[in-house]
């Protein structure tokens, strides 16, 4: 909460989930992880474009990065760190938490953290689960993240969705471990209208909605809730020419490909219309927000 800062100066968190088009959860039934190395990667060109867009607007962001990507493109990781962006973990191979037991998850987050830190040369403090897959069945993940040395998670979308979400989770920063005040969860942003949570944190919703609606919702969070919004996108979302795997369902095709040709121009508008910064600078520099732990 930032009560003493004028609304137009509130810094919002800009984040990128660093994964390639074939690594999304929606393609799991069509593309096996064993086939990833043989597929044409487009992450390098798309991530370079993302970095260019951010540089044009003077914005530094947080990059939740797959270990699989970092190992294959270490120069990209070093470049984004050198440009002042925050390096954070997205797990090694985009396996949802709900598909792992506790021991496998613990091994994954430790392996990925160590590998990213080795490649990037900086401490990795943040984590985002693949497809926001920390839900009510695996809340133990927060304890494992804390034990592995992470300072925060951004893995919960507090909405109803057929693939993810904890609809009654707090809307803003909170402490998921009552006895560990230094560890926080930072949910993806929603605005609340007549008791309904309206998702406005980016991704497919940003591509689906008219830009003006997204802008209105983020501004509403800044103005009424006096909170920083949290926005995310993927490098493949600025790439309408990406390959299209056969056999995808109509719903999957719509969700993945809708308005890809509009995303880049919308990102330019978004970066102009609001103030943006890295996750750690917004949420960690003041230690822990005093209101963390309660819904707002």
pLDDT in tens, 239-253: 999 999 999 999 999
Q: How far apart are CA 290 and CA 294, in angstroms?
A: 10
- Residues 218 and 201 sit within 8 Å (Cβ to Cβ): no
The two tokens of residue 3 are 């009560």
What's the CA gap between 16 and 235, in Å, rounded? 7
pLDDT of residue 22: 96
Tokens of 102: 């506790």
Q: DSSP secondary-structure letter at 242?
A: S
What's the pLDDT at 195? 87
CATH code linked to domain 7-32+39-283 = 3.20.20.370
DSSP string, 184-241: EE-PPPEEEETTEEEE-SBTHHHHHS-HHHHHHHHHHIIIII----EEEE-GGGG-TT
- pLDDT tens by residue, 54-83: 999 999 999 999 999 999 999 999 999 999
Average pLDDT over residues 193-211: 93
User: How sure is the predictor about 162, in pLDDT bands with cuts at 50, 70 and 90?
Assistant: low
Whole-number Å distance between alpha carbons of 153 and 145: 8
User: Given this model, what pLDDT does residue 164 score?
Assistant: 74
For the chain, give the mean pLDDT. 93
Residue written as token pair 């998850």: 105
Looking up tokens 């508008």, which residue turns up? Answer: 269
Residue 292: pLDDT band (50, 70, 90) is very low
DSSP state of 175: -
Q: What is the pTM of this model?
A: 0.93
Q: What contacts 293, CB < 8 A, 6 or more positions away?
A: 174, 175, 178
- In sequence order, the 6+-apart residues with CB closer than 8 A to the CB of 55 are 83
Domain map of the chain by residue range?
7-32+39-283
Strand partners, 32: none
């Amino acid at each position: 909460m930032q009560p003493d800062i004028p609304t137009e100066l509130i810094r919002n968190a800009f984040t990128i989930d660093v994964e390639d088009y074939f690594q999304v959860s929606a393609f799991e039934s069509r593309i096996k992880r064993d086939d990833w190395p043989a597929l044409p990667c487009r992450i390098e060109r798309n991530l370079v474009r993302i970095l260019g867009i951010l540089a044009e607007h003077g914005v530094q962001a947080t990059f939740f990065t797959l270990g699989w990507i970092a190992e294959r493109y270490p120069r990209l990781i070093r470049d984004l760190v050198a440009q002042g962006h925050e390096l954070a973990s997205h797990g090694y191979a985009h396996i949802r938490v709900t598909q792992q037991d506790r021991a496998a998850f613990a091994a994954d987050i430790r392996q990925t953290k160590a590998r990213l830190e080795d490649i990037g040369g900086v401490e990795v403090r943040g984590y985002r689960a693949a497809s926001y897959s920390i839900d009510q069945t695996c809340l133990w993940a927060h304890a494992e993240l804390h034990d592995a040395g992470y300072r925060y998670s951004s893995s919960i979308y507090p909405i109803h969705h057929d693939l993810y979400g904890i609809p009654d989770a707090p809307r803003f920063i909170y402490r998921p471990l009552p006895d560990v005040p230094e560890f926080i969860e930072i949910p993806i942003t929603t605005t609340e209208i007549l008791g309904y949570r309206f998702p406005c944190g980016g991704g497919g919703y940003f591509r689906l909605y008219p830009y003006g609606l997204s802008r209105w919702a983020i501004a509403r969070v800044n103005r009424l809730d006096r909170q920083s919004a949290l926005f995310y996108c993927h490098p493949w979302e600025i790439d309408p020419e990406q390959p299209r795997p056969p056999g995808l369902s109509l719903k999957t095709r719509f969700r993945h490909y809708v308005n890809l040709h509009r995303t880049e121009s919308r990102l330019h508008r978004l970066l102009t219309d609001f103030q943006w910064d890295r996750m750690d600078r917004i949420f960690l520099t003041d230690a822990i927000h005093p209101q963390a732990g309660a819904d707002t």
